[in-house]
Amino acid sequence: MFKTKIGNLDLETCIYNASGVYCVSFDELLKLAAPCFSNSVILTKSCTLEGRIGNNLPRYYDTELLSINSSGLPNLGYKFYCDNARIIKDHSEFKKPYILSISGLTLEDNYKIITEAVNNNFIDGIELNLSCPNIIGKPQVGYDFTIMEEIIRKASEIIETGRDARLESGSGFLFGLKLPPYFDISHFDMACDIINNSNVQSLTCINSIGNGLVIDTEKELVAIAPKNGYGGIGGTVIKPTALANVHYFYRNTKCSIIGCGGISSGMDAFEHILCGASAVQIGTHFHKKRNVCFKEILTELGSIMKSKNYKTIDDFRGKLVHYK
């Protein structure tokens, strides 16, 4: 019922973790690999060349409707995530795909990490993060279309070279992007033009909405410490923006779309798939509910599908109706 495909990867279910939530340490990744989890992919924390502690605490805060974070990419460095790929995958009964999320601090860092990843037969693909809003002094690449085009072109060259060798051994390699939220149609179109002239296979829409501000009114204090309180907004409030991005990129690219943003129920997942998503990632809700969220959302989604006589998600994926 929930099987799906993103790029060249077959997934047992259409749900998995968003990069950034409980996917940093070895133990957290092992839990994502566990067969008792209903997630379909082991997606790592966005990694940098060297390990990072991240921004000052407190850097995460949530309410019923939203979350705000400015983590600053805390991670153990790309070598850790590459070197442990085989061990972590071996704990997965269904051999869940292991995808490396990458967010190098320079273009050269990204190219080095991508080269290592595509030459590691235990890594099934990358999600190149062009959308982190929480690195002090670093802009989001996904809003600079000149740099975005350059990094995708170079990454494509590296991946194609490595993919040729992998295909000879019978394995493929997913090239995915994690995009920032776009708000203007002209920006959607510029991003689509770049993506359609590349060999990108999947798009994760969206990362958090950058540089929001949340206030703890009891203390009359900003909710998080870094960047004077500015951080990425996630949770229920960003779902309409996420759905718009999912739908636009589904209609205007040939990529598999992974919906991310505001998903805390089966109905939320249903809406993302109806807009064109082949799979969904859970971030804020995963942070709140831990591993039980995957099974709960799938159970609710299954009930919705049965009530509508849908046997598979492809029966309704991308079938959103418009007024004529």
192 catalytic, yes or no? no
E strand or H helix that includes residue 31: helix 26-33
Residues 6+ apart with CB under 8 A from 56: 225, 226
Residues 6+ apart with CB under 8 A from 98: 41, 42, 44, 85, 88, 89, 122, 123, 124
Q: Which of 2, 10, 21 is nearest to 232 (CA)?
A: 21
Contact 297, 265 (CB under 8 A): yes
Contact 136, 73 (CB under 8 A): no
CA pair distance 54, 317, nearest whole angstrom = 37
Token readout for 313 is 């998600």
Residues 6+ apart with CB under 8 A from 285: 235, 263, 264, 293, 297
Among residues 132, 205, 255, 293, the one annotated as catalytic is 132
**Which residues are identified as catalytic?**
132
